[in-house]
Structure 1
């Protein structure tokens, strides 16, 4: 596959990440069902969840840049609590940074967005690990793994019933890795046409450093390739174990974004 321009990957990742956010809102294991709204105001996309106005993830402004500076106060008026500005490098200018800073926003977090173009004949599945894809019969067990990972959080049967069908849909594949029959690691693969998005990687503390996430990553890339996916995206914290795993698997950096929030 010929390498595309950086702007192509940025645009595709932004589309995929928005779709994934909407899916995550629908399947959220929360007491009150999320009511995520996606509003387009000028060049900006506003994500707003009135059920959880303090959530950084579900109350974001994407695509904000120089053309929208005159409407900045109008955009802020859509929120009960100050939102997070999800800033990609193509929209980050000195004027934009100054305007956000003047209203009390500062850069508080960054993510590295990455991509890999798949070659079916070179994609290998995981070996030496027991990995299974979540099905209708194991969806509730998978949710209990999620509950276990959150240490002290408990999900009600209503929350489970609302969310579990999303976990084995054809467009959202989830994986469980066991060691000696015990929960060791899990991860997801979101699919849209010929593109995929790796997300939700988690390894339980007792099994870290044993190659679990690398194995899950190889399995998901292998499955994606067999399903006809050509490009897979993901996001990681810079310098993290996940970042290293992605580099080993052939992922390249597309861009670095910055989250601006109130002090």
Structure 2
């Protein structure tokens, strides 16, 4: 590899977290447009979002780069989340202001899990071309039902490596969330292997940051180069769109993390997931 090593200082982490918060906000607003809750609350440089019942967008994102929220702000967030019957889940970058983690734990928030954020400079070294028989295309409107099916199937059968996720979602919730992410500006990609639908993925670009917003392979097509092909196509498109950075979030020590590191991604930082304001 000849890719330039990325040093992730506070400025780069803040840039990535700002893009992440932008995605969550846009998806939450998309949920509102289709009849979901769609609640967005700015808080200390980040946003607290309640998108819909059971949605993975029900969280606080981007916090930690503008100081600690005051007690009144947190009271308002916890009251709003409780009114919707969900706990407050805060995804906190480990490069954020340490006062935020201290303040949340003193308030009773507990650690429930971690996420790894990896990145690579673009264009960087080329990713190997797709395996023979694997075709990647941008999903058309007619493709979206097939794209959703393979994404949901892939999520329903995780790879089984690494630290187990602290959360899981039923099919209808995943389908609504994926549609909200697409409405938030993510481009859907469909993978075909020997003509059969084999996988799906998406990508959203935000001020030069290419967010790889999810990918899944149907169990019958795993270990056949589908994930590598989806990654190759999205990185190529991101570079052509002028992005200088690609980022992806994975479960720690997962097959997904292993796959992206093989293609030049580096571990930049970890997010701690803290939960408080439990209801019931």
- Partner residue of 1:46? 48
For 2:89, the equivalent position in structure 1 comes to: 84
Cα offset, 1:5, TM superposition: 4.9
Change (3 A) 1:119 1:96: closer
Q: Which has the larger radius of gyration?
A: 1
1:186 aligns to what? 200
Alignment correspondent of 2:110: 106
Kept in 1: contact 2:216–2:227 (CA 8 A): yes
Cα distance in 1 between the residues matched to 2:213 and 2:38 = 20
> CA offset at residue 116 of structure 1?
0.7
CA contact (8 A) 2:18 2:62 kept: no
- 1:175 equivalent in alignment to 2:189: yes
Deviates further, 125-134 or 57-66: 57-66
Measured after TM superposition, the shift of residue 213 of structure 1 is 0.7
Alignment RMSD (CA, Å): 3.5
2:30 corresponds to 1:16: no
C-alpha change, 1:5 and 1:240, in structure 2 (3 Å) is closer
* Mapped partners of 1:85, 1:213: distance in 2: 29
Equivalenced residues, count: 252
1:221 to 218, 235, 252: 235
> Which stretches in structure 1 are left out of the alignment for 5+ residues?
none
Displacement of 1:244 in angstroms is 0.6
Higher mean displacement: 129-138 or 211-220:
129-138
1:244 matched to which residue of 2?
258
Residue 102 (structure 1) shift: 4.8
**TM-score (normalizing by structure 2):** 0.74
Q: Secondary structure at the match of 2:69?
A: helix
How far apart, in 1, do the equivalents of 2:41 and 2:127 lie? 39
From 109, 113, 119, the counterpart of 1:115: 119
Q: Is the 8 A contact 1:124 1:222 kept in 2?
A: no
Pair 1:134–1:110, CA change in 2 (3 A): same
